[in-house]
Amino acid sequence: MTHLASWDGELVAESEIRISPFSATATYGINVFEGLRAYWRGKEKGHSVLFCEAHIRRLLESASILGIDHRFTQGDLLEALEALIRTAPEADVAVRMTLMIVGDPGESWGSEAPANLAIRYFPAISSLNSVKTARAMTSSWRRPGIGSMPMSVKSGANYLNSRYGLLQSRACGVDLPLFLDERGYVVEGGGANLICRKSEEVLFCSLEQPVLRGITQEHIKSRLADCSDYRVVARPITLPELYVCDEVLLVGTTTEVISIEEVDGRTVSQARGGELRQFVCECLKSAVAEADVITR
C-alpha cells in the first residue's frame, strides 16, 4: 500500500522522496523537527492535533537558532500538516515534521542550502486511559551545557546524547535513562520532560537548565497552578530529592505520560496509583477535546 507523506508542502508517495546519504542532514544531522499527536475524534469530527500551533512555532524557532534557511511560514506548515492528516487512517497517529538541509551531496555542516520540509504520520495508540510505567536510572552521560549544545533546540543531532544514555540503560537492564546537568542536578529523560511530586509540592526543572522547553510540560504546569491545590515550583532538582518523591513522571506530546516506578533501584511509592499522574492524564484529555479539529 502506498504511504503518503508531505514533501515541501506537496502530498507525494513516500517512496518518491529521494535524499542523498551524503547530504548535510544525513551526514551531520543538520535538521530540526517536531513530534506531534493527532487524536481520532470520530467520523463527524476527524483528528485533533494537540498543541499544533505551539509545535510549529517551536520548529521555526529551532530552525532560526540553528541557522537553517527556509521559505516556509507558520501558515504553510499548518496547511501542509492538515492536508496530510486528512489522508490518515481513522485512528490516533503520531506525526513527525522536519526541516532538513539536504543541499548537494558532499556539503558539510556549514551548508547554507535552503531546507526541505518533510512530514509523515505513524500509528500511535494513546495510553492516556491506561498506566504506562518504566524503570529508570541516572545516566553517567550528562546533558551538554547551554554554551556548548543548546538543548532548547529540537534538532536531530541533540538526540545523540539521548542515544548514549538509552544504550547505557538498556545495557544495565533498565528501561530509560534520566539525565543530570553538568552541576549534577536532574534535568530530563531522553526524549521527555520530568515532573515529580513530593506530598503537595510539584517540582519542575528550571528553564535555565539544559532542557527542552516542553510544550506539554508547560501546559501541565499552567493547569496545575490554575486548577489544583498543589504548590508548583520550578527549580533545580537534586538526585536525593528525586529518590524520595512520591511520583516521578516523564511527559511529552508523543510520550504522553510515563510513570517511573523505580529510579536507580529505589521504588517510587505511588508510581501506579498516583494522583498527579491522574491529573496529568485528565489535563491532556481535556486539551485534546479543546484542540482544533481537522475534518476529513
Q: What string of pLDDT tens digits covers the 296 residues of the chain?
A: 678 999 999 999 999 999 999 999 999 999 999 999 999 999 999 999 999 999 999 999 999 999 999 999 999 999 999 999 999 999 999 999 999 999 988 889 999 999 999 999 999 999 999 999 999 999 999 999 988 999 999 999 999 999 999 999 999 999 999 999 999 999 999 999 999 999 999 999 999 999 999 999 999 999 999 989 999 999 999 999 999 999 999 999 999 999 999 999 999 999 988 999 999 999 999 999 999 888 87
pLDDT at 1: 64
The C-alpha cell 490554575 sits at: 226
What are the domain boundaries of the chain? 4-125, 133-288
How would CATH label the architecture of 133-288?
Alpha-Beta Barrel (3.20)
Question: Any idea of the CA torsion for 184, 185, 189, 191, to the nearest 10 degrees?
Answer: -90
Written as nine digits, the cell of 126 is 494513546
C-beta separation of 272 from 259 below 8 A: yes
Q: What is the pLDDT of residue 231?
A: 96
Number of residues written out for the chain: 296
Predicted confidence at residue 156, as pLDDT, reads 96
Neighbour tally for 133: CB within 10 Å: 15
Per-residue confidence (pLDDT) for residue 144, from 0 to 100:
95
* Calpha distance 157→210 (Å, rounded): 15
Q: Distance between CA atoms of 109 and 280, rounded to whole angstroms?
A: 40
First to last CA, the chain: 20
Does domain 4-125 sit in CATH 3.10.20.340? Answer: no
